[in-house]
């Protein structure tokens, strides 16, 4: 996924887009990914602003330049984009209630 492809994916005005920077070998990533997938696939889960969610995943091992452009230093890192701009982020695996709380801040 090139930068332009990612920017196009996050420029959706109707949704908040979560970008999950992960790696296959990362155990915390393996814990967080199913939570993100569950929450973004559940249409009843909304952000604090009432916008629905979308999820984009970026494998940092195959997308090294993309990870560098977003200054990813720790995995997993999730960056939330609203109207094409990064508005918030968190690093590390979090339990589902904490991820839900994060979504309420968006």
Residue that has been written with the tokens 């967080």 in this structure: 32
Domain spans, the chain: 3-104
Tokens (6 digits) for 100: 């839900």
Catalytic residues: 26, 29
Give the pLDDT confidence of 73-99 residue by residue, as tens digits.
999 999 999 999 999 999 999 999 999
Amino acid 12: pLDDT = 86
pLDDT value of residue 1: 73
* CA-atom Rg of the chain in angstroms: 13
Name the 3-class secondary structure at 72: coil
**CATH tag, 3-104:** 3.40.30.10
Other beta carbons within 10 Å of 74: 10
For residue 31, the 8-state DSSP code is H
Q: What is the pLDDT of residues 18-72, one digit of tens each?
A: 999 999 999 999 999 999 999 999 989 989 999 999 999 999 999 999 999 999 9
CB neighbours of 96 closer than 8 A, spacing ≥ 6? 35, 38, 39
Q: How many alpha carbons fall within 13 Å on the CB side of residue 61?
A: 6
Instruction: Give how far the C-alpha of residue 48 lies from the chain's centroid of Cα atoms, to the nearest Å.
Output: 16
β-partners of residue 54 are 17
């Amino acid at each position: 996924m090139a930068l332009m492809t990612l920017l196009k994916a996050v420029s959706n005005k109707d949704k908040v887009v979560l970008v999950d920077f992960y790696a296959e070998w990362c155990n915390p990533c393996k814990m967080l990914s199913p939570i993100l997938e569950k929450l973004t696939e559940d249409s009843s889960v909304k952000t604090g602003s009432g916008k629905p969610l979308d999820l984009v995943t970026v494998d940092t091992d195959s997308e090294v330049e993309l990870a560098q452009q977003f200054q990813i230093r720790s995995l997993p890192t999730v960056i939330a984009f609203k109207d094409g701009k990064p508005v918030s982020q968190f690093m590390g695996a979090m339990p589902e209630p904490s991820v839900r709380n994060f979504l309420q801040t968006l």
